[in-house]
Amino acid sequence: ISNIFMPSALNQIPDANFCFTSSTKDMIDVILSASVINYPLILEGPNGSGKSSTVLYLSKCVDANIVRISISSSTTVEDLFGKYEPNTSSKSLKFDFQPTDFLNAIRYDSNSTNADFSPLKKQWIIIEELHLASASVIDSLAPVFNKQTEQILLTDGQVVPKRDYFIVGLISQPLQNQSIVKSSMVYKVRDYTKPEYDQIYKYILSKNEFSDDVCSYFSDQMFILSKLSASSQAKIPITVREVYKI
């Protein structure tokens, strides 16, 4: 796909259901480079610029175990790491800590028999809409994004050791809290150029048997709308992802 190579357990990489533009290839180089050394990465770019699709596709290419989390303004620290819940199998009232898949993905457990969290299996964690996280959630994620930190303090006072993993945060707006930014590599994904718009829309429309003239006309109009949307800050649903849904 690009100029970066890394080993994979697969005999053949999966088919990709999206177009590899020059900006996508640049993003692929950054993601693979960071993943080799498990360096925390933040991808910042407009919605519909292929951040999620590219990371998910590459994780499949390297046969990684994937934990995908979508953040909202209502997400709590307990939602991320886990919480105490009543034990229904116990005769007396008892509360047990129920860890989330996210916590299982980042903590080291020598007693674990789950093959997905084996050291032999690459672990990729994808956090979408990270810019929507509350201040408390950002603070709790700071040690997760810090490669120099070897342990994580949970809300109940537990201190758990970290395992090797590759974590990617996806944002469409800059993070106000700099605690994560300072310990991560930040890559700004640029918006598509006009030639890339032509390439993408031709890829989508030609698969549905539209002529080249229709592809060209449609791309011209959508590119104009995208620039109007950006200049006026109006929320016009004209991203490539939304066009594909239509």
Give residue 186's pLDDT: 95
**Is the model's pTM score more than 0.85?**
no
Q: Is the pLDDT of residue 29 over 60?
A: yes
Strands (E), the chain: 41-44, 65-70, 82-86, 95-99, 123-128, 151-153, 159-161, 166-171, 185-188
User: Which of 198, 186, 185 minimizes the C-alpha distance to 226?
Assistant: 198
User: What's the angle, vertex CA 163, arms to CA 115 and CA 107, rounded to 5?
Assistant: 80
Instruction: Give the Cα separation of 136 and 139 in Å (integer).
Output: 5
Q: Is the pLDDT of residue 232 over 70?
A: no
DSSP 204-231: HHHTTT--HHHHHHHHHHHHHHHHHHHH
Give residue 56's pLDDT: 92
Six-digit token pair at 72?
């909202």
